[in-house]
Each structure stands twice: as C-alpha cells, then as structure tokens.
C-alpha cells in the first residue's frame, strides 16, 4: 500500500464561519489551537497503536517458539488502540471524503487483529490465514487452516510491520498537510500583525528621531547665524562709537574718551533695534527650516504608511479569497 497525494478537501480544518474582522483574530487563534491539539492527539494515538502492534508481534513470536502460552497474549489492546486512532483521525478528516490510503491501511490491519480479539480460535485464525492468502503462495495444505505455528506467526508479523510502515508515511503526510495549512492560514496572520506592529513602532520611533534632529539643527542654526551676523554687528558698533567720538571732539564739551548722555542713549537705541532684528531674523530662519524638515519627513512617513496600508489590504484580500475557496469545498462540519 502506497501513499496517495492528499489535498485539503480530505480535511476538516474549520469549526465556525468567519465573522467580523475584530473577532477573526481571536477565532483563528482558537481554531489553530484546536487543530494543533488534534495533531498532538493524532501523534499520541499513532504512537500508542504502533507500540501495541509491536508488542503483539513480540508475543506471537514467543508463542510460536513456545516461550509463553496463549493466555499471556494481549489480543484486546491493539484493537482498542486502533479504534482510538480512528476516532482521532475523524476529528481532523472529513467523514464524507476521508484520506483513502490511511483508511485502507487501518482496515487491512483490522482484518488481521480484529478476528483474534478473543484469542486464537481456529475459525477466527482461519479467517486471518485466508485473508493473508499465504497458504496458496506457500503451497500449504488446507488441513492446517486454523492451526497456529511459526509460518502463520511470520506471515502475520510481516504483514503488520509492512502496514505500520505505510501508516507512518501516511500520518507524516497528514501532519505535513495540516501543519502547512496552519502555517499559511494562521501563523502568517500572526506574523503579519507582528510585522505591522513592528513597522508602526519603527515609524513612531523615526518620527521622534526627526523631532530630535530638528532641535539639534535649530541649535546649529543659532550658532551659524550668530557667527554670520556677529561680524557686521561688531563693525556697526565700531562705526557708531567712532561717530560719537568724532561728534564729541567737535563740541569739546567732553574729553576724547567720554560720551554724552544723548549719545549713549542713541547708541543703546541702535543696539536694541539691531538685537531685535537679529532675534527676529534667527526665529524666521529657524521656523522656516523646521517647517521644511517637518514637511519632508511627514511626506516620507506618509508614503511608508500608505505602502504598509496597501500591503495589508492586499493580504486581507488574499485571506478573504482563501476563505471563500475553503467555503466552496474545504470546510467540513465542526470537529
């Protein structure tokens, strides 16, 4: 028995219809958790079943070699573990379209272990021997039907081991399909949300850095403008002092190193007026520069936000498309 190619139409991977966008994230979390829990149950049930078959084969070998009696063999547990595995599979596969390969594998195993559930009764053992069909291939006389010996033990063990190998491959394939579905449907949502949140945090941090840069540039502007206007201020003060001194020499009312009160007032008024002009000049340049930098950064941030929004809308559209596809064939009843 090989491994067929499976697709999502064999699986029941939804429990509820989609609702509002705000409820979708929480609902998806719940569905993802349910699917992962069922996968874990499937792994556990599969392991328990394989362990029971291995122990069953070991006991049959010991019985064939007369190391134990029939009463020492556990015929019941393998059948119980088989039913548990089937029940677990039904939680994640669709009843109307289950994966056929694993269903056939379990059915084949059941044909061997179920008739022996109550022991090696001749009529039940013959049923198993006929199903395996080795009497014809080995040219064994029909009079040995219903008799347990090394040949029957070997045929049962080889058959069960081969089916367990098939089962392993089929379980792995189911796990891969469901895990890939979970990754695409749910984990990608979490990653997208985390990605958008991270970008939002980065944009906020970048905006804060922009304002810090503006403040730093403002200080630099003050320094540069101060250097730029200092020289003409000094030159102007020098010219004003010279004019006042020349005026004083002409009047001879004060000595060469003295200034009249009205001249001092004149100088003070001039310096005060100049200081106001310089201050206003600095403020104007600072505001203009801040506006230019702020506008530039806001444009960049707006473009980044627009790109993120477009990307998010594209993602939501694809997710909605996937949901409609699932509604048209992939979604089963609540498991």
Delimit the domains of the chain by residue range. Answer: 8-184, 200-330
* Among 199, 201, 215, 202, residue whose Cα is nearest residue 294: 215
Calpha distance 145→148 (Å, rounded): 8
For residue 51, is pLDDT > 50? Answer: yes
Six-digit token pair at 172?
Answer: 């792995």
138-193 pLDDT, tens digit per residue, is: 999 999 999 999 999 999 999 999 999 999 999 999 888 888 877 776 655 555 56
What CATH number should be reported for the domain whose range is 8-184? 1.20.120
Q: Let me know: does 86 contact 110? Beta carbons within 8 Å.
A: no
Q: Which pLDDT score is estimated for 21?
A: 45
Q: What does pTM read for this prediction?
A: 0.54
| DSSP-assigned letter for residue 8 | G
Backbone angles phi, psi at 11, to 5 degrees: -120, 145
Q: What is the pLDDT of residues 201-256, one digit of tens each?
A: 777 777 777 767 767 766 666 666 666 656 666 666 666 667 656 655 655 554 44
Residue 108, judged by CB atoms within 10 A of its CB (0-12, 13-18, 19+), counts as: middle
């Amino acid at each position: 028995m090989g491994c067929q190619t499976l697709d999502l139409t064999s699986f029941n991977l939804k429990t509820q219809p989609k609702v509002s966008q705000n409820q979708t994230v929480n609902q998806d979390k719940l569905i993802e958790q349910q699917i992962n829990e069922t996968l874990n149950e499937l792994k556990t049930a599969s392991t328990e079943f394989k362990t029971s078959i291995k122990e069953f084969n070991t006991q049959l070998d010991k019985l064939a070699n007369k190391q134990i009696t029939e009463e020492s063999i556990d015929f019941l547990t393998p059948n119980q573990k088989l039913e548990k595995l089937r029940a677990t599979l039904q939680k994640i596969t669709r009843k109307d379209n289950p994966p056929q390969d694993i269903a056939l594998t379990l059915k084949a195993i059941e044909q061997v272990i179920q008739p022996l559930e109550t022991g090696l009764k001749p009529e039940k053992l013959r049923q198993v021997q006929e199903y395996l069909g080795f009497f014809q291939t080995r040219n064994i006389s029909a009079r040995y039907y219903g008799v347990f010996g090394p040949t029957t033990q070997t045929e049962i063990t080889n058959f069960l081991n081969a089916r367990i190998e098939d089962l392993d491959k089929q379980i792995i394939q189911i796990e891969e399909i469901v895990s890939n579905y979970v990754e695409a449907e749910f984990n990608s949502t979490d990653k997208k949300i985390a990605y958008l949140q991270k970008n939002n945090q980065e944009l906020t941090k970048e905006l804060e850095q922009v304002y810090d840069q503006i403040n730093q540039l403002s200080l630099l502007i003050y320094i540069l403008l101060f250097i730029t206007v200092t020289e003409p201020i000094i030159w102007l003060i020098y010219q004003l002092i010279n004019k006042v001194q020349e005026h004083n020499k002409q009047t001879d009312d004060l000595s060469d190193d003295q200034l009249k009160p009205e001249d001092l007032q004149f100088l003070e008024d001039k310096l005060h007026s100049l200081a106001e002009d310089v201050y206003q000049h600095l403020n104007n340049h600072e505001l203009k520069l801040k506006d230019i930098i702020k506008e530039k950064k806001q444009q960049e941030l707006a473009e980044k936000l627009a790109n993120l929004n477009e990307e998010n809308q594209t993602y939501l559209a694809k997710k909605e498309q996937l949901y409609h596809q699932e509604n048209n064939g992939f979604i089963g009843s609540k498991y």
